[in-house]
Structure 1
Amino acid sequence: MTPVARPDEGLNAAVAAELRAERAAKDLTTKELSALAGIPYASLRRYLGAERHIDVATVAALCGALGLEAGELVARASDRLERARRSDGDDVPTLGQRRRQRSYPILDDEAARDPHAVTDDE
């Protein structure tokens, strides 16, 4: 049996990144998405931060709240993961990488518009 990846790695991290991007594209706060999806705010923050594994029912609830098909979101996450694997880059950063990124101010406008950035909005 293959061990389950940490939540901040692999497909789970890529799904979390796509959910963050969709939330930002829809101009929703995490609290608003929490209410729309019927998921407790603290749990949603952990899902979006790739600190917790996202189950299928949760993906379905979040996709419903965001107005997209779960299959579409997972396909985009798979594409993101494949790009990261091909480039050996940090397209899907681990939690530790994101925490280090948060400790530095955003230095340019392009980074400020990045819908994939993790934010701690209220």
Structure 2
Amino acid sequence: MDNKQKERLDFQSRNKLLTQVALRQATSNPVKILGNVKVFFLKDDWQSEWLGQEKSIYKPVNFQSLKDAIEDPSIKTIFIPESIYVPVSALSFLCAKASIEKIIFIQGEAPTK
């Protein structure tokens, strides 16, 4: 194995480790439990940055794709960026429709109400 391949492997393993750290940190953030769904709020930008690039986490492009993802039993983890505004009442309504346990990460602070 030449140095270039070794460096690439090291970079990939480093990314996996940082993603695991981001997940661990994110799941210690404020949480709301809405039906079968745990909603974690990502107050730190670095957590959002790492989880937003993770391929195994579904990233909706708009409110409709978020709604579809929550209802889809094959999608277990969802990342909602700041660009998609979701009122807590609407999220509660959508999460009530989830038939299986899911985890949602929302970029931004937890609402105070």
TM-score of Structure 1 vs Structure 2, range by shorter chain: under 0.3
More contact order relative to length (CA 8 Å, sep ≥ 6): 1
- Judging by fraction of residues, say which structure has more helix: 1
Scaled by the length of structure 1, the TM-score of the pair is: 0.26
Q: Rg: which structure is higher?
A: 2
